[in-house]
Amino acid sequence: MPCETCGAPHACPFQLSMPPRVASSARGLDGIFNVNKPLGKTSHHVVHTIRKISGLARVGHAGTLDPMATGVLLICVGQAVRVTEYLIDHEKKYRARVRLGIETDTYDAEGAVVAQRAVNATRAQIENALASFVGKIAQMPPAYSAIKKEGVRLYDLARRGIAVERTPRPIEIFSIIVRAIALPDVEFDVHCSKGTYVRSLAHDLGEALGCGATLTALTRTASGQFALDDAITLDELRAAFENKSAEHYLNPLDEALLQFQAVVVTEEIARRVMLGNSVNCEREYATRLLRAYAPSGQCIALLERGRRAGEWKPQKVFAS
């Protein structure tokens, strides 16, 4: 009798019913902490702090925030370190404050002032200038950025006084909403794709208005489905580890993978997948990768199409 899932003349390994998802394996903490990064700290400092207070060896972040920025910083622990690339791909939201009439070499308030001009822009001019950046655009990254040029980060070259040619990068800004204008300051919310530099957006606004501008405050309010309202502070997370309740704040690692379709396998097939073996299913799926779950609800692997027809092989295995 053909399989009801894919129509193949065999027992299909992929089931349609989905059990409740679980956050962690029996080996320890595997998941994502939504941390509200404090002002003045680097993303690396937050990772180091969490590694120290948790005792966990595998800790990483998904999406760097500058020291002057606050807000959502996703910290991956355990097996979730292996899904950071998918979290980085998520869209971002920020609240920015920009000061018109001043330019700095870093495009933010931490840099050296390189120019000052009078501000004569009207509200309509400011709103129109910001609206012109909405859509798919090519954005020039700041000279002080982590982008590499021949293996060396741009900020290292800039600090050594070495000028290099930068290349505009394709980004997309989905929306910009002006919250307040009290000249010379402008505050707005921006929803954008990965790779967007809000510092560059501030600089470009100043160029468009002819008076210069620099970023004076920035908060990441969302990264994908992770919102600032749900973020935990470092002090709260430290207390949670001391009280052995940190798992309460842990999001399942598959929160990074919800853009891919999900399949559930039997216990027998789960064991095979966790050993790195392929499975076969002729059914068509809309996404290039599949989230594979054991009957317990634990995400055990990310599957990709194999070379043979109907073959799905593990790209990443999260449990063993």
Q: Which residues are catalytic?
A: 66
Lookup result for tokens 């070379």 = 307
DSSP 8-class letter at 232: B
Ordered alpha helix ranges (H), the chain? 43-54, 84-88, 123-131, 154-159, 198-209, 234-242, 267-274
DSSP H or E stretch at residue 303:
strand 299-305
How many CB atoms are located within 10 Å of the residue 282 CB? 16
Query: Rounded to 5 degrees, what angle do the CA atoms 317, 3, 319 make?
Result: 10
CA distances from residue 165 to 40, 162, 168, 170 in whole angstroms, order as listed: 29, 10, 10, 16
Nearest to 34 by CA among 252, 207, 239: 252
d(CA 61, CA 74): 6
Is residue 205 within 8 A of residue 129, CB to CB? The reply is yes
Beta strand pairing call for 311-317 and 299-305: antiparallel
